[in-house]
Amino acid sequence: MGISIEKGCILIHRVFDVGGEISLTRAEQLLAEAGKNPRLKFSTDTRKAIIIKESPLKTDLGEGILGLPSGGAPVHVFARLWNYGVISITLEMRIAPGTAWETLIKTASELEASDEVDLLAISRKNALKKQVMPAIGAPAEWDIFEDYITYIIEKADGLENPREFIKRADVSALILAEDKERLGEESRNFILDSAIQYSSSDLAIIDWNSALLIEPDGQRDVADVIEFSLTHLLEFRYYDEMLSRNLQELYDTMETKQESVIHIFRNFYSDIAEDASRKYMEFSEFLGRVENSLKTVGDPYLAVAFRASALEFHFDDWRNSISRKMETLAQISQILHGEINTRRSHWLEIIIILLIAVEMIPMAVDLWKFLR
């Protein structure tokens, strides 16, 4: 007997870096004319309560139609603005009552392959960014963005026991959006083994590209934590790419060795070294924000969900990669500063010698006159 879903939704995320920071107070003022834009609030009951520093702004962007091979799908679009320069766009698609599990897998496959999702999300992001532009510090546009899909099931056949439900349903096919081939037992077990639970009625499976949440009471806290983690993943990738670019620029500059007399007090290396120091401070501040921005009160279930997201998104690998590049950048910059100081010392010695020589000229002239 197949599984029928009676109530649920699909959250399709696209996360963009739009600048150095966003003044949420200023953005809230700019968005006031569009209606209420409440800060993101997690549930405050004793079961799941967390504190998030500098809660993002949430704003409604209206309705849209997502073109898929199976037909146009209506979606509700909303956005969140995060103070560290990120805008996340979410397309919420309701799962029609009576949808078969196999149909949901097919929808997942269509969503993964669709360019329409990106086009719709980017257009809404661009419109929102234009509206809040005065609130964005150091505005920029990075051509890389994060994508993720969260499937939330609230009511379905056999959902009373989530552990048994995920054994009956082909969860791995949904998570990996694989509608053509049946995955091997090892792949399926690997995904199922990552399931976490707070109570006997809910369950979360968080993978690197998508997640399945069983939430009979319709809670969105875990989904919000996943989105929160996704914004940090984007920032990790941004800083990693930025450091790679700085290192390559440094290597290219070292190869050209374009130094001359006119660069005694200014050189091609100093600008890079200063930029590296500034980025080092930015990233140090960002790491502190990651460590301190999400805190749990009471039961640590959401902290477990956050750690599961961090594990799937390879936060530690990104940290290590960035740390190595920062150390390399710091070492090279230090060597270059030493070379710069040495060259300046040589030029100063030459200047001193020339000044002494100039001072000796009148004495030499007087001596020559005396000897005559």
pLDDT tens across 7-44, in order? 999 999 999 999 988 999 899 888 887 664 555 544 43
Cα dihedral 276, 280, 281, 287 in deg (nearest 10): 160
Q: Report residue 135's pLDDT band, with 50, 70 and 90 as the boundaries.
A: very high
DSSP 267: -
Nearest to 90 by CA among 82, 79, 103, 74: 79
The pLDDT score that the predictor gives to residue 17 is 94
Using the 3D structure, point to which of 212, 228, 244 is the last residue of a domain.
Answer: 228
Which range of residues forms the domain containing residue 66? 4-228
Same domain membership, residue 197 and residue 341 = no
Q: Are 57 and 87 in contact (CB under 8 A)?
A: no
Same domain membership, residue 186 and residue 335 = no
Percent of the chain whose pLDDT exceeds 90: 37
Using the 3D structure, point to which of 201, 228, 255 is the last residue of a domain.
Answer: 228
Q: Report residue 194's pLDDT band, with 50, 70 and 90 as the boundaries.
A: confident
Using the 3D structure, point to which of 228, 249, 284 is the last residue of a domain.
Answer: 228
* Mean pLDDT value across the chain: 82
Same domain membership, residue 249 and residue 185 = no
- Cα–Cα distance for residue pair 152/183, rounded to 1 Å: 22
Same domain membership, residue 238 and residue 182 = no
Per-residue pLDDT tens for 231-287? 999 989 988 888 888 788 777 766 665 544 445 445 556 666 666 667 777 777 766
Same domain membership, residue 183 and residue 94 = yes
Q: Higher confidence at residue 261 or residue 85?
A: 85
Same domain membership, residue 222 and residue 235 = no
Same domain membership, residue 9 and residue 148 = yes
Provide the number of structural domains found in the chain. 2
> Residue 369: inside a domain, yes or no?
no
The pLDDT score that the predictor gives to residue 126 is 95
Q: Higher confidence at residue 54 or residue 350?
A: 350
> Residue 368: inside a domain, yes or no?
no
Sequence letter at residue 164: E
> Residue 370: inside a domain, yes or no?
no
Same domain membership, residue 195 and residue 303 = no
Q: CB under 8 Å to 131, separation ≥6 — which residues?
A: 30, 31, 34
The pLDDT score that the predictor gives to residue 340 is 66
The reported pTM is 0.83
Task: Return the structure tokens found at 59.
Answer: 């704003």
